[in-house]
Structure 1
Amino acid sequence: MTADVVKEGYWYGNETVAVEVLNALRDYRSAEAAMRRRTRSSMGMGETDLLALRYLLEYERAGRMVGPKELATRLGITSASMTSLVDRMVKSGHVVREPHPTDRRALVLRPTSDSDEEVRKTLSGMHRRMMDVAASLSRGEAVVVVDFLKRMREAIDGIDQH
């Protein structure tokens, strides 16, 4: 990509290569956000609901039980918001509440098999294409990309600290 192809309006000056990288990263983030909107729309779920379902599926695959309090902490939401979220997800058939096997006062949240199937059906093609792209990288390329993304995350995480 040459300097004349770099998008107008970026505030970083004339560092052409850096701007090209940041533009590509911004374009990827925009495409990912659009994909998430399409996924939420096709599944009839809000962003937090979809994220909660993703976490519940991760816990399920790892053989871990999770309750509303732990999930609320992971999502960064209040217990009142968590109650509303769980009510919605139970009503939509994505989540079930079950009694905890050893603590009769506690509940466990589990994704339904239908929701696991729906997520796989909705996202499997996209995940396969993303995996194919990642697998096409040489080991050296992968190391550079992972290092870059980690440093970008650290740069963004550090914003509130300065």
Structure 2
Amino acid sequence: MRVLTSIRAVSDAMERMHSGMKGDMDMNASDVAALRLLIIRERQGRSVSPRDIARHLRISTASTTKLLDRLVDSGHVQRRPHPSDGRGRVVVLTEDARNAFFRVFGDRLRAMRAVALDYDEVELAVIARFLDDLCGAMDPEE
């Protein structure tokens, strides 16, 4: 039970961190979740389509269009042609949004990385597998 209690504490801390970002960047929860997806995929070298955002947030394509219109209007993202599919579009962060994200989250991300450095690769692999399995148990559609 201690592990589950600790996970709840991590979840609460993440929520507080994201709430701070919502206020600092004047965004709602869906906007922040979309930016987080873009940051993660960008670091993985993967593009993001509007459909990817809709699936990730579990919202309709119409709601996704409104969300993206809002993020484009606020200067956080751009819609660009898909690099290999002329009919498709991808969503990319603007440099200003990327800078704002890391200005708000930078210190926290560095602190989180410092915690990870206290564990060896074997321990981190076990922790990652546990968290992945836990996510699968909570959200079997992912």
User: Which of the pair has more CA radius of gyration?
Assistant: 1
Asked if 1 retains the 8 angstrom alpha-carbon contact of 2:18 and 2:32, the reply is: no
Output one character per residue of 1:100-126: Cα deviation in whole Å (capped at 9) or x when no partner.
456554333221111011111111110
Map 1:69-80 to 2 at 5 A.
Answer: 69-80=51-62
Tell me the amino acid that sits aligned with residue 52 of structure 2.
E
Describe the shift of the 1:90–1:124 C-alpha distance in structure 2 as closer, same or farther (beyond 3 A). Answer: same
Identity %: 36
1:156 corresponds to which residue?
Answer: 138
Larger relative contact order (Cα-Cα within 8 Å, sequence gap ≥ 6): 2
Residues 146 and 66 from structure 1, CA distance in 2 versus in 1: closer, same or farther, beyond 3 angstroms? closer
Specify which of 79, 96, 113 is matched with residue 131 of structure 1. 113
2:16 pairs, out of 34, 47, 51, with 34
Q: TM-score, normalised by structure 2?
A: 0.81
Distance in 2, Cα, partners of 1:147 & 1:75: 23
Larger CA deviation: 23-32 vs 36-45: 23-32
**Structure 2: which 5+ runs fail to align?**
none
Instruction: Write the letter of the residue equivalent to 1:74.
Output: H
Deviations 1:28-82 (A, max 9, x none): 2111111111111111111111121122233444444433223222322111101
Relative to structure 1, is the Cα distance of residues 59 and 140 closer, same or farther in structure 2, using a 3 angstrom cutoff?
Answer: closer
**What's the offset of the Cα at 1:90?**
0.8
Q: What is residue 109 of structure 1 aligned with on the other side?
A: 91
Matches within 5 A, 1:1-162: 18=1, 20-100=2-82, 103-157=85-139
**What is the one-letter code of the residue matched to 1:128?**
R
- Amino acid paired to 1:36: H
**1:50 partner SS:** helix
| Displacement of 1:155 | 3.7
SS at match of 1:66: coil
In the alignment, the residues of structure 2 paired with residue 103 and residue 150 of structure 1 have an alpha-carbon distance, to the nearest angstrom, of 32
- 5+ residue gaps, structure 1, are 1-17
Q: For 1:122-151, what per-residue CA distance to the aligned partner results, in whole angstroms no more than 9, with x for missing partners?
A: 111101100110111134543443343344
Match of 1:15 in 2: none
